[in-house]
């Protein structure tokens, strides 16, 4: 019996290759071929492991005659044609368990830096500016924390909040019956009525595209903080900028941007006044899609993927 051939399209932790080889797989690492080059040879492989470099669309999937699985080292699956893969009987694997802790710590880290003006104050002191009243902070304690999307990431955030003395943690999710000891499930209207902070943990789908738009912001009863470590296109940037200018959005923590490339490796080369506003504002913290990007998560993401592949018994 021949060894199943697996194609790796993105660099990941070496344990993936090491453990798959030890389990009897053949592994080909290809980090440079174009989409078209991949499409022409995809019929050779029983499995694909990737992050986001190449879209696994209908053309590739229909050409992949031997394919048994597509494994994404990460959480989001928007780069994969899920409907076609399912119809063809191809297993889809991801590893949101691997970076949920990293994301949760990033959310809290960004919020604490922003609400307490830590980065701003530090930079001022380094330039010889000593301002105290102007840098008075705002506490998490006593606030209602609202989460949209209560999967691996949302739950990890809720667990971290247990020690911060927040008034309560509430969440909205399209699936029912997800409430637990860390957070109470509510409808979207209740969340908009009560939340002081909104943290997004939703995938990128047609239903979540521009989830945070002009109407959502205006329907918030309180002026609020926004955190987005999910997907950039979940937030309408122009609406966010208007909310920041009006004060309805007190401040924003953004690890993802609407203008990111599909591979998440950079921001599109565009001149955009709304993006420029975010980058120049002291009410906004922006990081380069690294919420799930820690030393530990790199190992865990890879290990969960390998474990799930081995469970398929290909």
Q: Which residues are catalytic?
A: 231, 260, 289
Q: What share of the chain is helix, strand, coil (3-state, %, to 5)?
A: 40, 20, 45
What single DSSP character describes residue 98? G
Q: Is 63 helix (H, G, I), strand (E, B) or coil?
A: helix
The answer to whether 187 and 67 have CB atoms below 8 angstroms apart is no
What single DSSP character describes residue 288? S
CA 285/CA 255 separation, integer angstroms = 8
The answer to whether 283 and 256 have CB atoms below 8 angstroms apart is no
16: left (phi over 0), alpha (psi -120 to 50) or beta: alpha
CA 232/CA 234 separation, integer angstroms = 5
CA 154/CA 277 separation, integer angstroms = 28
What single DSSP character describes residue 105? H
Going from the C-alpha of 12 to that of each of 31, 178, 302, the distances in angstroms are 10, 32, 7
């Amino acid at each position: 019996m021949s060894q199943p051939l697996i194609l790796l399209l993105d660099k990941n932790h070496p344990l993936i290759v090491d453990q798959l080889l030890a389990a009897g797989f053949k592994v080909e690492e290809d980090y440079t071929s174009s989409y078209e080059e991949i499409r022409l040879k995809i019929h050779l492989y029983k499995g694909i492991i990737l992050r986001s470099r190449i879209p696994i669309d209908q053309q590739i999937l229909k050409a992949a005659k031997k394919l048994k699985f597509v494994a994404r080292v990460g959480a989001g699956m928007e780069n994969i044609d899920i409907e076609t893969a399912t119809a063809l009987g191809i297993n889809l694997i991801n590893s949101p368990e691997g970076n949920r802790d990293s994301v949760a710590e990033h959310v809290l880290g960004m919020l604490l830096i922003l609400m307490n003006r830590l980065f701003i104050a530090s930079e001022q002191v380094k330039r010889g500016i000593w301002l105290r009243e102007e840098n008075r902070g705002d506490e998490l304690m006593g606030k209602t924390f609202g989460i949209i999307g209560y999967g691996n990431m949302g739950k990890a955030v809720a667990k971290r909040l247990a020690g911060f003395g927040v008034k309560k943690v509430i969440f909205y999710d399209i699936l029912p019956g997800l409430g637990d000891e860390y957070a109470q499930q509510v409808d979207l209207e209740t969340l908009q009525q009560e939340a002081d902070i909104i943290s997004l943990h939703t995938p990128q789908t047609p239903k979540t595209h521009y989830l945070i738009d002009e109407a959502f912001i205006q329907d918030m009863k309180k002026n609020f903080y926004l955190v987005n470590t999910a997907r950039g296109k979940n937030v309408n940037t122009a609406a966010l900028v208007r909310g920041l200018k009006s004060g309805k959005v007190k401040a924003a923590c953004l690890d993802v941007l609407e203008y990111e490339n599909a591979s998440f490796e950079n921001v599109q080369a565009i001149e955009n006044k709304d993006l420029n506003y975010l980058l120049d504002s002291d009410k906004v913290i922006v990081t380069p899609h690294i919420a799930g990007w820690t030393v530990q998560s790199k190992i865990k993401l890879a290990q969960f993927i390998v474990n799930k592949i081995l469970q398929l018994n290909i």
